[in-house]
Amino acid sequence: MAFSAGGKRLFICETSKEGRSYLLELDEHQVAIKRVYHGLWKRSVGVVPFDTMKIQFLAIGDAFKIKFWDMDNSYLLTTTAAECGLPAASCIRFNKEGILLAVSTSENGIKILANADGVRLLRFIENQAVDTSRVAPATIEKGPIISTFGASCSVAGTST
């Protein structure tokens, strides 16, 4: 169960005993179903993780993909496989601004998906993160940077 970022809309994702998952918007004042979102995998395993972005979008890790809905439309907006490597039900979380989406991978890693604003932010951070004139070259490892919500790369990198 989750409220939208504005706190005015309540969403719940349930899995029936038969394994069918449902994403619902509830009318919290009347304790009734306001909207049923279509496009979930018919046989989900356990909990289906989801998150909301500001007051605009819902995202769910389902069926080895990330699925997106406009909150005001019951039908699936788009999906991404995030260049593969996702489990059947990825754990997901938007950042506060809704420009980055962290997604769990099958190999116990994390992929970061970004919209255009998120890509700009990550490039800025990447350019500001390490002053290479003060660090020995052997101590810096850089992984690939992120692209868009439609495609992503793992962010890997450590400095010691």
Ranges 57-61, 91-95, 123-127, 139-143: which has the least confidence: 139-143
Does 16 map to a domain? yes
Does 160 map to a domain? no
Label residue 136 by pLDDT band (50, 70, 90).
low
Does 120 map to a domain? yes
Radius of gyration of the chain (CA): 18
Does 159 map to a domain? no
Instruction: Quote the number of domains for the chain.
Output: 1
Q: Do strands 50-53 and 32-37 pair parallel, antiparallel, or not at all (unpaired)?
A: unpaired
CA distance linking residue 85 with residue 24, whole number of Å: 27
pTM above 0.85, yes or no: no
Range of 125's domain?
2-154
Does 137 map to a domain? yes
Does 109 map to a domain? yes
Ranges 39-43, 77-81, 150-154: which has the least confidence: 150-154
Q: What is the CATH number of the domain that holds 64?
A: 2.130.10.10
